[in-house]
């Protein structure tokens, strides 16, 4: 931990106007860190999606500028305690579904795909590795975005799952593609249809999670992974390139699946939307309860 604290002092906050994303660059490790903190819930709001895409474009500009230090790794993480991401903006989903606004729903879904594909394709730069650091819950689209990464690091006790089947839908922004590449498509379908939350330990045994860290040690696990990759970087990069040839995840496949998701979403019935609303309320209630607990603890201290 002492080493990690020393490394943190070298992190340089990046100058930007982001409101739901805090970014840092560690020049020593050549690691770009992005910490999500969307409002009013930690989900993929349109604002956060725009900021994530802007952050990616900024990293590409750094990489392509010979006067700047290269980004070799970028890490998607969260500043929200106990939560990586609750996934898609369900309130926005309901608004577009009830308005029968297919175009707006499709545009939102494509923004999600664009973000996940940038993570999966490591910004279309062969020398970059994308890492997802899951601390706490990663649900629905939050789990999908973590699955898109080249390396998924999770702390023990973290919970991940795809609950969309509970409101008569399926996860349409990359789950079949990215989870299928990790565990096979038959197993991916079983996980999707279960609607269950899985512990990081279970997913590690399945081969979904790449690195398992102790609670509170996720950031240190990122640095440990980077050190290991640096020792065999040429071979690891070449193997990843070979895997992308043998198990491609093309952008147009993601788009076609997303189109199926949009049409299925527009077929949801009132009872399905009520279940979706209950999930939103439950998520909001948990966050408010968690905030109250932390405030009470802080005052009692």
pLDDT digits 0-9 by tens, 7-31: 444 455 555 689 999 999 999 999 9
Ordered alpha helix ranges (H), the chain: 2-8, 46-64, 90-98, 102-120, 141-147, 180-183, 185-194, 200-206, 218-231, 233-246, 251-266, 270-300
What percentage of the chain has pLDDT greater than the value 90?
A: 84
Among candidate residues 117, 11, 25, 35, the one with its CA nearest the CA of residue 63:
25
Single out the catalytic residue among 51, 155, 164, 219.
164
Q: Would you state the structure tokens that stand for residue 60, as one six-digit string? A: 């590409």
Instruction: Say how far apart CA 220 and CA 153 lie, in whole Å.
Output: 11
Q: What's the confidence (pLDDT) of residue 268?
A: 97
Q: What's the confidence (pLDDT) of residue 17?
A: 83
Q: What's the confidence (pLDDT) of residue 293?
A: 41
Q: Is 164 a catalytic residue?
A: yes
When pLDDT is cut at 50, 70 and 90, the band that residue 288 belongs to is: low
Domain boundaries of the chain, sorted by first residue? 2-215+235-288
Average pLDDT, the chain: 90
Task: Judge whether 222 and 131 are in contact, CB under 8 Å.
Answer: yes
- Homologous superfamily (CATH) of 2-215+235-288 is 2-enoyl-CoA Hydratase; Chain A, domain 1 (3.90.226.10)
CA–CA distance from 156 to each of 26, 82, 163, 265 (Å)? 25, 12, 20, 33
Single out the catalytic residue among 51, 144, 155, 229.
144
Q: What's the confidence (pLDDT) of residue 286?
A: 60
Instruction: Say how far apart CA 178 and CA 51 lie, in whole Å.
Output: 23
């Amino acid at each position: 931990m002492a080493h990690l604290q020393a490394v943190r002092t070298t992190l340089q906050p990046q100058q930007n106007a982001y409101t739901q994303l805090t970014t840092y660059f560690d020049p020593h490790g050549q690691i770009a860190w992005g910490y999500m903190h969307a409002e009013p819930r930690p989900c993929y709001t349109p604002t956060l999606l725009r900021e994530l895409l802007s952050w990616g474009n900024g990293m590409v500009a750094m990489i392509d500028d010979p006067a700047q230090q290269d980004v070799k790794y970028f890490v998607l993480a969260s500043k929200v305690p106990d939560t990586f991401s609750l996934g898609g903006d369900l309130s926005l989903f309901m608004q577009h579904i009830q308005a029968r606004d297919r175009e707006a729903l499709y545009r939102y879904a494509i923004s999600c795909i664009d973000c996940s594909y940038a993570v999966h394709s490591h910004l279309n730069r062969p020398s970059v590795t994308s890492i997802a650091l899951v601390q706490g819950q990663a649900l629905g689209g939050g789990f999908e975005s973590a699955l898109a990464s080249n390396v998924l690091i999770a702390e023990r006790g973290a919970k991940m799952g795809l609950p969309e089947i509970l409101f008569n839908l399926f996860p349409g922004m990359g789950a079949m593609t990215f989870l299928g590449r990790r565990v096979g498509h038959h197993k991916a379908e079983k996980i999707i249809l279960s609607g269950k939350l899985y512990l990081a330990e279970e997913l590690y045994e399945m081969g979904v999670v790449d690195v398992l860290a102790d609670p509170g040690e996720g950031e240190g696990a990122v640095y440990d992974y980077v050190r290991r990759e640096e020792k065999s970087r040429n071979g690891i990069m070449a193997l990843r390139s070979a895997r992308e040839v043998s198990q491609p995840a093309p952008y147009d496949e993601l788009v076609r699946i997303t189109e199926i998701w949009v049409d299925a979403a527009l077929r949801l019935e009132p009872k399905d939307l009520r279940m979706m609303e209950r999930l939103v309320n439950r998520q909001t209630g948990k966050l408010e309860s968690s905030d109250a607990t932390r405030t009470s603890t802080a005052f009692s201290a």
